[in-house]
């Protein structure tokens, strides 16, 4: 088990971290993980487990499938850790991962969360079909410069482009109407961007183009009970810890059209004096991003049997 004696932060990955085979080795090794995947299958009335473990990749990557898949894997790891009374001080999740954080913090029941993020994925996909958009990663510019260029590109013609994800210092993702994002790309290069990378996405996430999904998600969240989380969950929208269910419900809806302020999220977590962080679920994206903010707080990735065995001193 970890030798951390001080505060521990939990990090839950978002869309893009999914991969075929996710959670399979854990389910074969630990009953609580297997039961968690089975509970998700029952909640959704389809075999999400098989899709996670066998693919096909193009189906798993679909927004409606990737979101519940990631939540299930992350929560399964948290339940496994809880069996050994692993305690945490604060939690956060990247976009979809914020729902995983609320489950771990006791703010939302697991089955309700699985159905909710499945519905969230459906709504986001529909919004992307109704108003097609795209996204691009911008490397090497200050946030204020990216914001200014987005405004310039939006004012120059039809459509809108906005910062959608403050991923790391010097790394921002922009999102919006296709024509507006395309107008912004050369302007960003002229402003000194080291690289502008178009992203292969099904919609302009975390932008005004997702507005049509808000009402449906609000209705879904109002149909399920939320509790005050046992530990604070740092909001993507505000970069501040949330401790009340009503605030969580509002911010989870607003998150659809608001930028992910991930750097602010990380800094808010660090303010509690973390000794280490654990990224729960597939991959190590958030561990890498935390290193961009500080190298003083180590981040463990816990998503495979090998990683769990090493964590528990068995590997």
Catalytic residues: 95, 206
Cα atoms in the Cβ-side hemisphere of radius 13 Å centred on 216? 18
Nearest to 274 by CA among 266, 282, 284: 266
CA distance 16 to 96: 10
CA distance 139 to 263: 15
Structure tokens at 213: 């999904």
Kind of pairing between the strands at 233-234 and 161-168: unpaired
Beta strands in 39-192 (DSSP E): 90-93, 133-139, 161-168, 171-177
CB atoms within 10 A of CB 57: 11
């Amino acid at each position: 088990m970890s030798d951390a004696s001080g505060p521990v932060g939990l990090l839950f990955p978002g869309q893009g971290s999914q991969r075929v085979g996710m959670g399979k080795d854990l389910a074969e090794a630990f009953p609580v993980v297997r039961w968690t995947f089975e509970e998700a299958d029952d909640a959704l009335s389809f075999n999400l487990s098989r899709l996670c473990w066998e693919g096909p990749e193009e189906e798993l990557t679909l927004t409606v499938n990737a979101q519940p898949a990631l939540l299930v894997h992350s929560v399964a790891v948290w339940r496994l850790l809880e069996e050994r009374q692993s305690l945490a001080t604060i939690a956060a999740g990247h976009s979809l991962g914020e729902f995983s954080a609320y489950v771990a913090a006791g703010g939302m029941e697991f089955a309700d969360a699985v159905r909710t993020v499945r519905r969230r994925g459906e709504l986001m996909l529909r919004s992307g079909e109704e108003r097609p958009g795209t996204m691009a990663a911008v490397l090497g510019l200050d946030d204020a410069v990216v914001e200014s260029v987005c405004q310039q590109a939006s004012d120059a013609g039809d459509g809108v482009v906005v910062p959608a994800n403050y991923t790391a210092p010097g790394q921002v993702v922009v999102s919006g109407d296709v024509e507006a994002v395309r107008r912004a790309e050369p302007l960003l290069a002229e402003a000194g961007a080291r690289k502008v990378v178009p992203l292969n996405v099904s919609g302009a996430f975390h932008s005004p183009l997702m507005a049509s999904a808000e009402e449906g998600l609000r209705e879904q969240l109002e149909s399920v009970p939320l509790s005050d989380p046992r530990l604070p969950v740092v909001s993507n929208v505000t970069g501040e810890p949330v401790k009340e269910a009503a605030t969580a419900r509002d911010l989870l809806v607003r998150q659809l059209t608001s930028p992910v302020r991930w750097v602010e999220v990380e800094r808010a977590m660090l303010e509690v004096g973390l000794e280490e962080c654990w990224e729960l679920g597939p991959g190590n994206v958030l561990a890498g991003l935390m290193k961009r903010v500080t190298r003083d707080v180590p981040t463990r990735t816990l998503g495979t049997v090998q990683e769990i065995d090493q964590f528990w001193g068995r590997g």
